[in-house]
Amino acid sequence: MARPAVSIRNVGKTWEVEGRRPVRAIDGLTIDIEPGEFVVLLGPSGCGKSSLLYMIAGLEDVSDGVIECDGLPITAPSAERGLIFQEASLFPWLTILDNVAFGLAIQAEQPERRREIATEILRRVGLGDMLDKKPDELSGGMRQRAACARALAMKPKVLMMDEPFAALDVQTRAKMQDFLLQIWRDSRASIILVTHSIDEAISLADRVVVFTARPGQVKEIVPIDMPRPRNPRDPRYHAYRDHFTELLAAEVDRAFAEQEVR
């Protein structure tokens, strides 16, 4: 079998803030993410999903264990590992085209070529008419697509998304999910997406990693064995939904009980 795109081995994270009790966010986490695989992380609030993405992105250190990308331990951010936040983090003073071209400057492409690549990729995400607009002239869904375009322009091997569609209305969200599956197929990148939506997890994932309450550990890894596009009326879809609802309910209860003790 090919080497995993990301290999998370026995990883723990303790946040230490001066004058506060240290917080054990993640504990003993082991997951392999295959090249081209779509993995969804599902878990109660505060179980360390975002912390894990920051560590894979190389923005934060692991406290224990190791995360390897293509067989090498992660020590710093890299263009090969893109991260998209819940609220699209575009530069408000740049046009959409320049936002996408910006990352390519770091990759030392010539200015002409940068604009060419950026234009091509913005067309691919359906924003060909928006090149000269500023982010605040776009809708939430369009901004998220522009953020995807900026990440994709770097040709990442791993694309991480932290609740990317949480702020969008239901219809736009469904469209964005279709769009994401399409660019995932084209790009062949591995995707690691965090969501609180069970339906989003079932619609998108090859495998869903369900976390326990903090400190986050793997509670269960569930492969979604259904062809795409996945029909919410399919009995298998219902069975997955029931299963995830049950798994999460137990953990959310635990997370709340713990909060009350403190």
Ligand X SMILES: Nc1ncnc2c1ncn2[C@@H]1O[C@H](COP(=O)(O)OP(=O)(O)OP(=O)(O)O)[C@@H](O)[C@H]1O
Sites of contact with ligand X (CB under 6 A): 15, 17, 23, 25, 43, 45-51, 214
Query: Of ligand X, Mg ion, none, which one does residue 47 interact with (CB within 5 to 8 Å by kind)?
Result: ligand X
Residue with smaller CB distance to Mg ion, 4 or 164: 164
Q: In whole angstroms, how close is the CB of 48 to Mg ion at the nearest point?
A: 8
Q: In whole angstroms, how close is the CB of 259 to ligand X at the nearest point?
A: 10
Residue with smaller CB distance to ligand X, 77 or 229: 77
Residue with smaller CB distance to Mg ion, 43 or 103: 43
Q: In whole angstroms, how close is the CB of 112 to ligand X at the nearest point?
A: 40
Q: In whole angstroms, how close is the CB of 162 to Mg ion at the nearest point?
A: 6
Pick the stretch among 44-52, 149-157, 167-175, 227-235 that binds Mg ion (CB under 5 A). 44-52
Q: Is 50 in the site for Mg ion (CB under 5 A)?
A: yes
Specify whether the CB–CB gap between 7 and 67 falls below 8 A: yes
Specify whether the CB–CB gap between 31 and 218 falls below 8 A: yes
Q: In whole angstroms, how close is the CB of 86 to ligand X at the nearest point?
A: 8
- Report the residue number whose CB is nearest to Mg ion: 50
Footprint of Mg ion (CB under 5 A): 50
